Amino acid sequence: MKRFHVHVAVRDLEGSKVFYSRLFGAEPAVVKHDYAKWMIEDPRINFAISTGRDRAGIEHLGLQADSAEELAEIRERLVAADAAIEDEPGANCCYAHSDKHWTVDPQGIPWESFHTLGAVAHYGDDHGPAAHKAESACGTGGCCAR
C-alpha cells in the first residue's frame, strides 16, 4: 500500500515538532537535530520537516512505495503522464537509503517517488538529481542540499 509523502522546510524545528505532534496525535517516528518524520496511519502519510533551507514551506511532495513493484507502478504512471523522470537508485538522503524517481509537476513542484531500503546516519550523502536540485524546481537550490 502506498503512502502520501509531504516534506516541509521549517525555521523552528522544536516548535514545529510540538505543533505537528499535537496535530497528528503522535510523536515523530524519527527525530534528528535538523529533521523529524511522522509515519501516520490515519491518514496514511509520511510527513517530514527539516531545517537549513533558504525559505520555509513545501519542500516537495511524493509517494512512498512499500515494495519495488509498487515503485515501478508509480514510475509507469509518471511515464503515462508524460513526466520527465530522473531515476535515483540507491540514494542516501533524509536519513534513509532509497530507490527514487523524481519529477516536477506542471506548477514546478518537485515530486519524489521512493521505496526505502534502510536507514543511514546522515541527512544526505547524495543530493539528488538535477530536477530535484534545480532552483526552479525547489526554489531552494536542492531539497536535500545542505
Total number of residues shown for the chain = 146
Q: So where are the chain's domains? A: 3-138
Q: Which CATH architecture fits 3-138?
A: Roll (3.10)
Residue 89 is predicted with a pLDDT of 95
CA distances from 68 to 23, 34, 90, 124 (A): 31, 29, 12, 21
pLDDT at residue number 73: 94
How do the pLDDT tens digits run along the chain, 146 residues long?
A: 799 999 999 999 999 999 999 989 999 999 999 999 999 998 899 999 999 888 899 999 999 999 999 999 999 999 999 899 999 999 998 888 999 999 999 889 999 999 999 988 887 654 444 434 433 333 333 344 32
- Report CA-CA distances (Å) from 38 to 35, 59, 144: 11, 16, 18
What are the cell numbers at 68?
519495488
Q: Quick one: pLDDT at residue 85?
A: 95
* Strand ranges, E, within 12-143: 30-32, 35-41, 44-50, 57-65, 86-93, 96-104, 110-119
pLDDT for position 137 = 35
